[in-house]
Structure formats: C-alpha cells, structure tokens
Amino acid sequence: MFKQLEEIENRFEELDGLLSDPKVIADQDAFQRYAKEHSSLSEIVERYRALKETEAEIEENKEILEGKDEELKELAKEELSLLQEKKGSLEKTLRLLLLPKDPNDERNVLLEIRAGAGGEEAALFAGELFRMYSRFAENNNWKMEVMSINETGLHGLKEVIALIEGRGAYSRLKYESGVHRVQRVPETEAGGRIHTSTATVAILPEAEDVDIEINDDELRIDTFRAGGHGGQNVNKVETAVRITHLPTGLVVSCQDEKSQHKNRQKALKILRSRLLDIKQQEQQSKIAQDRRTQVGTGDRSEKIRTYNFPQNRVTDHRIGLTLHKLEAVINGDIGDIIDNLVTHYQAEVLKGAGEAGHEKVQ
C-alpha cells in the first residue's frame, strides 16, 4: 500500500508542475484533463501526508518515553495512544480510497418509483417516496427533472421516472434500489386496521451515448395522443412516444412534453440507462460466480426498508438500522440512513479485498 501511495504522491506533485506550466495552461483540453486527475488524487495525498506526519510524531513520543523526565513521559504516553488511534483511522481511510472506484459514482441518476402491492394506498406511498427523494435532492443542490409520470386520481403515483443531476448523485443513492414497505392506517380505513403496502425503487446510472449503442433498426417507435385524468393534457396531435427495443423487448413511453421530439429524446435517455443497467447486472453476475460473496446494491425484489407510521419508525433491514423519526425521513432527511449504508458496504468491500489478498498469499 505504501509503495502505491508514494507513487500517487509523486504523480500529484508532477501534476502540480504541469498545471502551472504556461504550455499546459494554453491547451485547455490538457489543462482540464490534468486538473481532473489532480482533483481525484488530492484527498488520497492529503490523508497520506497526514499519516506520515502522524508516524513522525509517534516516533518522537517513543523517543521521549526512553528519556528520564517522568512528567514528559506521562504526557508522551497519553499522546502516543491518541496518535496510534489516529494512525489506524488514517490507514483504514486510505485503504478505502485506494480501492477501485465504482465507475458510476459520479454519474447522474435515473430514479424510477412504481406502486406495488396495496392499490391506491401503494400509489399514495409511491408519491410520498418521490417527494422524499425530491427534497433530498434539493437539500444536496441537485437538479431533478421528471422524465415520465403516471398519476392516479387521488394524487398518488402509479409510476414516476426522474433524472437527478448532481455530483456524486449515484454514489449516494445507489443503495436505495429495492422494495420499500409502508405500514399505516389508510384514511379510507374505517376500522382503524393497519395496512401494509409496497413500492419499488430503482436507481440507475444515467447512460451516455458512448456507453450503449442503439441502432435505429432495433427500435419500433409509435406515437399517440397524450392523455390525463379528467381530460387534462389531452392533445389533438400525437405528441406522446412509445419506443420498443426489439432485441430485449424493453418498452419506454413518454408523454409529458408537448413536443414529440422532446418526448422521443426523454424516452431514448431512459432506454439507454435501462440497457446499461442490464449490461452491468450481467457483468456483476459473472464476477460473482468467481467470488465467495457478492458486494452490491442487493436484489431489487428484496424488501429493504419499512416505514411504520404507528411507531414513528423507519427500519433498514439490510443493516438492522432503526430510526424513530419517520416524519423527518419522509420529508427528505435520509442522510443518516445513507451514511450508514455507505459505511456498511465499504466495510464489506474491505473485507472482500482482505479475503482476496489472503487467498493470493495461500
């Protein structure tokens, strides 16, 4: 690890020189490329330098312990304990930073929410989940754009697809995929019985044109008139678009824009992201066959979280986390849940890397 860190620090210092070189500054493409690399290495270098300083302080305190001044020795002993703890924390952080990055972490996100079991109550819950993620995106200064939406008559959602644009959006939201369950007494329940309903959430990395190549002859594109509840948004011309990807059978529809061209572009963006997701799921399955355990985001058919209104409780079943602040969570305060999920899966990745290294030694 330390040899790798030295190489990274040397490259970082080399980039420092390049970014101040007039020739590089004049070449904006090169400058942007080097600046991006410099930025990606800065946290590792910062932690590595802090580690070296900590190790130097540890050596100084060890020398004091060999001296005769009892008062200084006592102070050095206390400080040494704190420094050893700091060193361990820095080493753990550096091991995480040196792990291969998820190439999707800096991508934008395609958020898909669908009502599951529970009829209208499930649709209302899907709407609340969408508002929860909308507010979380707003709190992170991310931009959200609705790509497709299918509402019910009682302000619920059968389905909504939205693009979330923002740095690190996928890295923060990727563990949200799965079945979300709500337990509460519906307003229409006269007997006061608690009902259980579900909604599914899918988090897909936004696909770029270069990620997925789609040939026109692989697509069937149909147009139709957009419609809504109570005759709303009904067009006299066919602006809504339905695209079928013939090789996979995937179907995507968009009707929210008044322009057929804009609906077509949105539908293609959704289709590309779904095809990229299929491609990556296949790759992960192949990798998993060669590993003892698979560290991923979990099966989307898996029940991952319960929102229990009578108990004011939210429980994430994957990590056994329970919070008694349901109202805050539903209003977008999901940072604590996400932080705990990230920490859990990072620990799993480190554990997997350690096992792989042990197998190599064997």
**Blockwise average pLDDT, block size 10, the chain, 362 residues:** 88 93 91 89 92 93 87 89 92 81 83 91 94 96 91 86 91 93 82 88 81 81 68 57 87 81 84 84 60 41 88 95 96 94 83 52 38
Q: Using CA atoms in the order 269, 270, 272, 278, what is the torsion angle rounded to 10 degrees?
A: 160
Phi, psi of 222 (to 5 degrees): -115, 145
Phi, psi of 170 (to 5 degrees): -70, -40
| pLDDT the model gives residue 93 | 84
The pair of structure tokens assigned to 112 is: 């898909």
CB 220 within 8 A of CB 246: yes
* Strand blocks (E) in the chain: 109-115, 143-151, 157-165, 178-184, 195-205, 219-224, 240-245, 250-254, 303-308, 313-316, 321-323
| pLDDT the model gives residue 157 | 93
Q: Closest Cα partner for 264 from 243, 283, 250?
A: 243
| pLDDT the model gives residue 229 | 47
Q: Which are the contacts of 294, defined by CB distance < 8 A and separation ≥ 6?
A: 284, 287, 288
CB 270 within 8 A of CB 148: yes
CB 61 within 8 A of CB 67: no
| pLDDT the model gives residue 153 | 76
Only one residue has tokens 């059978």, namely 249
| pLDDT the model gives residue 291 | 41
If you count DSSP H runs as helices and E runs as strands, how many of each does the chain have, helices first?
9, 11
Domains detected in the chain: 2-98 (1.20.58), 109-348 (3.30.70.1660)
| pLDDT the model gives residue 265 | 83
CB contact burial 311-337 (16+ within 10 A = b; e otherwise):
eebbbbbbeeeebeebeebbebbbeeb
Q: Distances in Å between the alpha carbon of 99 and those of 52, 67, 96, 314, 347?
A: 20, 41, 5, 31, 11
The pair of structure tokens assigned to 310 is: 């009578």
Answer whether 0.85 is exceeded by the pTM. no
